[in-house]
Structure 1
């Protein structure tokens, strides 16, 4: 179910035409089915802050089962030249989502970030880090702000 804060953006996208949806089965990072958003309720669930939505999805191969849990990704907007990071690099606190980056003197800095759209296992970062910042993507449970780190340069693709 989309959150209350996403409703305005979803409604604006619906005004421009149908919204495509991707269905991801448990354990998948890429869509196994595609469909179209067909309904959004006009009331917010006060206990969860979410809105009921429905999509119509072809199930010709019968891979979707009644009552099955799936993730659904809405194609609300595209963001050209987005700064993307792996979703696994994100941390969460009472203040919001954050990333660890390599700071001055090779120590860990924690940066609160604003998230944008996702693509597969990547998420767009709208604010909080900039192009060129070294985002820490591994061993997050072993570090914290101020901890010393030894950055390992990313290997070029072959």
Structure 2
């Protein structure tokens, strides 16, 4: 007995709750849907593929729909039987993202310390949005390219000079 496994391309099967089927079909009709394969507990994708199959039946036991993504896998990073997390992107938009630890709670709401051109800091009220892992989208209060303090905020006050570490 022989088991054949194809690795070029390779297919990743995953399930999503049935309530997302409408949105998945809507966005798939507009453009190809990107799927990222990630190792468990990791944020960085190891491969990017495309959604190529939506099953026509909801699993009555789980209330999920099986999907399948195709990955070219030219560098052999994906392997048959491997356990992965799949991230399906329906749509994307430009966003300002900061490390979550940069956001501080304050009496007037959440804020971050912004590093100004003269290497001093100012605190700036921000409106946090969705959080993904260790990063948070900022919906208002910051401009693209502004630097924020991610460590040592308890010792800072507006006007404090800082030494920026990369």
Please state which band the TM-score falls in when normalised by the shorter chain: 0.5 to 0.7
- Which aligned pairs between 1:9-88 and structure 2 lie closer than 5 A? 9-81=23-95
| Contact 1:4-1:44 within 8 A present in 2 as well | yes
**2: CA distance, partners of 1:117 / 1:19:** 22
Unaligned runs of at least 5 residues, structure 2: 1-14, 108-128, 142-152, 157-161
With normalisation by structure 1, the TM-score equals: 0.54
Decide whether aligned partners of structure 1 residues 45 and 33 sit closer, same or farther in structure 2, where only a CA change above 3 A counts: same
Cα distance, 1:61 vs structure 2? 2.3
Q: 2-side partners of 1:57 and 1:24: how far apart? A: 13
Q: CA deviation at 1:16?
A: 0.4
Equivalent pairs counted in the alignment come to: 120
Going from structure 1 to structure 2, the CA distance change for 1:41 and 1:85 (only over 3 Å counts) comes to: farther
Equivalence for 1:8: 22
**Which entry has the higher C-alpha Rg, 1 or 2?**
2
Could you tell me which residue of structure 2 aligns to residue 92 of structure 1?
Answer: none
| RMSD value, Cα | 4.1
In structure 2, relative to structure 1, the CA distance for the partners of 1:74 and 1:124 (3 Å cut) is farther
